[in-house]
Amino acid sequence: AQRVTQPEKLLSVFKGAPVELKCNYSYSGSPELFWYVQYSRQRLQLLLRHISRESIKGFTADLNKGETSFHLKKPFAQEEDSAMYYCALSGATNKLIFGTGTLLAVQP
């Protein structure tokens, strides 16, 4: 079965601390993995996707097929990073399977 697991509902860190939002997936083929973010009072939007291997707003995510993980990392958290983060998986179509999300709270 296709599934995305985000074990943490809430992650609270201080400004300047490293951040790692965990994401594990279950998929029989070769998945496409994404991170979507929702800032307060804004719509859900794409943060990054593994195929692009890019860094967006200082965030990176590496696909680890052995551990079936796609953790989101940032070395130094900023207050403006506070948001809801969703990990998502896509198979052969644009059907996205989302995790339950992790609320990142960056304290000053």
Partner 1 sequence: ETGVTQSPTHLIKTRGQQVTLRCSSQSGHNTVSWYQQALGQGPQFIFQYYREEENGRGNFPPRFSGLQFPNYSSELNVNALELDDSALYLCASSLKGPNSPLHFGNGTRLTVT
Residues binding partner 1 (CB under 8 A): 4, 6, 32, 34, 36, 43-46, 49, 51, 86, 88, 90-101
Of 9 and 108, the one with the shorter C-beta distance to partner 1 is 9
Closest approach of partner 1 to the CB of residue 59, in Å: 15
Closest approach of partner 1 to the CB of residue 14, in Å: 26
| Residue 59, C-beta contacts closer than 8 angstroms, at least 6 positions apart | 35, 47, 48, 72, 73, 74
Of 68 and 98, the one with the shorter C-beta distance to partner 1 is 98
Q: Are 81 and 74 in contact (CB under 8 A)?
A: yes
Of 57 and 95, the one with the shorter C-beta distance to partner 1 is 95
Q: Are 21 and 13 in contact (CB under 8 A)?
A: no
Q: Are 61 and 35 in contact (CB under 8 A)?
A: yes
